[in-house]
Structure 1
Amino acid sequence: MSELNEKQWEKIKDLVPEGIRRTDGKGRPWRDKREVMEGVLWILRTGAPWKDLPDRYPPYQTCHRRFQGWVKSGVFTLIIETLATDLYERGGVDLSECYIDGTFCMAKKGALLVGKTKKGKGTKIMAITDAAGIILSISVHSASPHEVTLVEKTLEERFIIPHPERLIGDKAYDSDPLDERLKEQGTDLIAPHRDNRKKKKTQDGRKLKRYKRRWKVERFFAWLFNYRRTVVRYEYHEENFKAFVLLACSMILLKSFFHL
């Protein structure tokens, strides 16, 4: 079973570097980069430990080592940014109505960027999608900070340059200071008022009708968690965990929005 069909591989193959060959010609030849990527995708999809990688793929040590190299060189960021920009330039991204939300991932082992919550120790994934549910930004944080404090960081890590025209979230994002700061960037924040709000209400009821379509970002998280390596965090370094999340986002784009 292949994790990538031919059209999907054609779309990303030039973004995945070949192994660097020694100038003296010595050493073992590098394994084919598609075979290695297929192995990494099997780990992503199943959530299995590296040592359980089936024999049909290169040795797990090889796949893990190349994965680490790709993380350090920014390959997974390059892939998702290239795919998202391609969609945007072809008119496939709708910034008139974007949605933001966060989700909790349990951390089973000691790790960096992990915080304690009522649910336990873990990491928070923040996501922004466009009007159709296309992923526009992903950021990974300790689970402890409130989501309203992570909005601007998540916007900074978006995959395309333009800002959302409207950003829609739940009551957790009701913040007048945040609203004002986003307006300076050309983004209108839309969120229902908190029940305990003391200041004057600022949201227009007509705008809040858009809130009913916030299920699109929740659907994205359902798609994301089909890739089991993103459900529970086993990686000590946050950049490795985020790389798996970015790779899952790339696969969602390829399968759901490129129709490859």
Structure 2
Amino acid sequence: MRRGELTDAAWLVIEPLLPRPGTSRARWRDHRQVINGILWKLRTGAPWRDLLERFGPWKTCHERLRRWTGDGTWEKILASVIVHDDGQPVEWVISVDSSVVRVHQHAAGGRKKGGSAGSSPAALTGEAIGRSRGGWSTKIHLAADGRGRPLSILITPGQAGDNPMLFPLLEAIAVPTGKPGWPRRKPDLLIADKGYAHDSTRVRLRRRGIKHVIPERSDQTARRASKGSRGGRPPSFDRDAYRQRNVVERAFNRLKQWRDLATRYAKRASIYQASLTIAAIMIWLR
């Protein structure tokens, strides 16, 4: 085992979740070797054709990544490793935020409008590539637990807003409880910045019984003050609880240590989404 590769403990967790080899007479390359090749590619950001020989043919690693992206294997593994963590349960003080990554010229040829086969549901238009101030970009939307571990990740074009993705992020959280019934989705407390400070958002959160800490924007404060007593009371804000929002920033730092994620090289939104999921799996397995 070398730096950045699967440890024996991590392999014991994910091996039962991987598809079994087919009945073809052709030799089925070892899953662990292939996954280590995928991890090396994501960690270094190198082109697929530069994959080291010890990981086998690059086409095998890429095809395995593409196949398991299509059948939901990566999502199944992430759901399992969230349960099989290091013994400390999920901390349900959830922080949400977004971060924009540049799209490399090798990926910028992806379609900007209209759906595509195999794209992530979070890719609202084309391959989740949009133009923002820095050029072609993709925005990563992340929900992290109280220890900065990813619970759900979605992607949109870079110019997309944060607030419309809040409830899709929350709905994407599904942590098995180990008991009969639905997985848990509702946090004890939701922490978000001013990008999510919309009146309609606060109303929906209250209807769902979700406690939240979201600061009020200056324009909202001024508008309420201009109405006098008709403007109502300001929304409650727990300054001490809001300090915990830094965990989602630390989660982004962990994700962007993977060079293939800090800059988007994947043309397909589904592949980039799967790469983020793999990085999240490795964070939970540490």
Query: After TM superposition, where is structure 1 displaced by more than 3 Å over at least 4 residues in a row?
Result: 85-88, 199-202
Aligned partners of 2:259 and 2:74: how far apart in 1? 18
**Structure 1 residue 175, shift from structure 2 partner:** 1.0
**Structure 1 residue 42, shift from structure 2 partner:** 0.7
Aligned partners of 1:29 and 1:124: how far apart in 2? 40
Match of 2:136 in 1: 121
Where do residues 86-165 of structure 1 align in structure 2 (5 Å cutoff)? 86-87=84-85, 92-95=89-92, 97-108=93-104, 109-111=108-110, 112-160=127-175, 161-165=184-188
Match of 2:211 in 1: 188
Amino acid at match of 1:30: W
Query: Structure 1, residues 39-83: CA drift from partner, whole Å, max 9, x if none?
Result: 111111111111110011111011111111111111111111111
Kept in 2: contact 1:85–1:159 (CA 8 A): no
Amino acid at match of 2:109: G
Aligned partners of 2:45 and 2:185: how far apart in 1? 34
**Structure 1 residue 7, shift from structure 2 partner:** 0.7
Match of 1:202 in 2: 234
Provide the secondary structure at the position in 2 that maps to 1:196: helix
Q: Does residue 71 in structure 1 map to residue 86 in structure 2?
A: no
Provide the secondary structure at the position in 2 that maps to 1:127: strand
Aligned partners of 1:36 and 1:86: how far apart in 2? 23
Aligned partners of 1:202 and 1:11: how far apart in 2? 48
Return closer, same or farther for 1:240/1:122 CA change in 2, 3 Å cut-off: same
Kept in 2: contact 1:105–1:125 (CA 8 A): yes
Kept in 2: contact 1:138–1:158 (CA 8 A): no
Unaligned runs of 5+ in 2: 111-126, 176-183, 225-230
Aligned partners of 1:121 and 1:177: how far apart in 2? 30
**Structure 1 residue 231, shift from structure 2 partner:** 0.8
Aligned partners of 2:243 and 2:80: how far apart in 1? 30
**TM-score of the aligned structures, taking structure 2 as reference length:** 0.82
Deviation larger for 44-53 or 134-143: 134-143
**Structure 1 residue 91, shift from structure 2 partner:** 5.6
Kept in 1: contact 2:42–2:259 (CA 8 A): yes
Amino acid at match of 1:180: V
Kept in 2: contact 1:179–1:188 (CA 8 A): no
Provide the secondary structure at the position in 2 that maps to 1:29: coil
Provide the secondary structure at the position in 2 that maps to 1:31: coil
Amino acid at match of 1:221: F
Return closer, same or farther for 1:191/1:150 CA change in 2, 3 Å cut-off: same
Aligned partners of 2:148 and 2:244: how far apart in 1? 10
Q: Does residue 82 in structure 1 map to residue 43 in structure 2?
A: no
Match of 2:17 in 1: 15
Aligned partners of 1:226 and 1:122: how far apart in 2? 18
Match of 1:170 in 2: 193
Provide the secondary structure at the position in 2 that maps to 1:214: helix
Amino acid at match of 1:116: R
**Structure 1 residue 87, shift from structure 2 partner:** 4.2
Aligned partners of 2:242 and 2:135: how far apart in 1? 29
Aligned partners of 1:135 and 1:183: how far apart in 2? 24
Unaligned runs of 5+ in 1: 256-260
